[in-house]
């Protein structure tokens, strides 16, 4: 496989692979590094890729595994590492801006308390803007289970938020 064939076949997956990596790692630099590693590994094994029946699924699995390896490696993440927040501020006053940022941080902290599968699914769907098919491919869960995990995560977050707000 030459460089042009490789680009034509594997580069269209780049946005999807980036969304998956970002959803799992919550860090743009780490997600980009993972994708760079993934493309390096794909290029290195390009002669063997001819036998791959579903290149997109193969790439998704590769990126997922690289992300999981990265997360498991000692020293790559700390428990108190803050997740980059999405700028969802709708207010125009500094008070509204501060309040929105506090809510985002509160929700991020609550998401980190969710069980791992629920946390990954809600991050991929909410922050990563991944489709159910993409989440299913990345996690290995069935479509029905992805929906159940997402529903449970949302329900748990809602009750956690209500509990935290009632304490104030």
Q: Over the stretch 104-134, which tens digit does the pLDDT of each residue have?
A: 777 778 888 888 888 888 888 776 667 788 8
The answer to whether residues 1 and 47 touch, using CB atoms and an 8 Å cutoff, is yes
Predicted TM-score (pTM) above 0.85: no
Token digits of residue 147:
């929906």
Q: How far apart (Å, rounded) are the C-alpha atoms in residues 69 and 122?
A: 20
- The pLDDT assigned to 83 comes to 35
- Reply yes or no on whether the pLDDT at 89 is more than 60: no
The per-residue pLDDT of the chain, averaged, comes to 78
Q: How far apart (Å, rounded) are the C-alpha atoms in residues 159 and 147?
A: 18
> How many beta carbons lie within 10 A of that of residue 61, not counting itself?
14
Q: How far apart (Å, rounded) are the C-alpha atoms in residues 84 and 6?
A: 33
In order of their start, the domains of the chain are 3-72 (1.10.1740), 94-166 (1.10.10.10)
């Amino acid at each position: 496989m030459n460089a042009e064939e490789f680009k034509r076949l594997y580069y269209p997956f780049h946005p999807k692979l980036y969304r998956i990596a970002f959803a799992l790692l919550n860090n743009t630099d780490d997600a980009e590094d993972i994708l760079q590693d993934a493309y390096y590994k794909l290029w290195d094994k390009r002669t063997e890729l001819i036998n791959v029946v579903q290149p997109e699924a193969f790439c998704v699995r590769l990126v997922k595994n690289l992300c999981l390896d990265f997360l498991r490696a000692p020293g790559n993440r700390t428990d108190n590492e803050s997740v980059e927040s999405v700028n969802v501020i709708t207010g125009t006053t500094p008070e509204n801006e501060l309040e929105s940022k506090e809510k985002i941080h509160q929700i991020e902290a609550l998401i980190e308390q969710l069980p791992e599968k629920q946390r990954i699914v809600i991050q991929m769907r909410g922050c990563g803007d991944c489709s159910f098919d993409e989440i299913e491919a990345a996690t290995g869960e069935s479509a029905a289970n992805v929906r159940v995990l997402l529903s449970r995560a949302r329900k748990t977050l809602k009750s956690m938020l209500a509990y935290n707000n009632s304490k104030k």
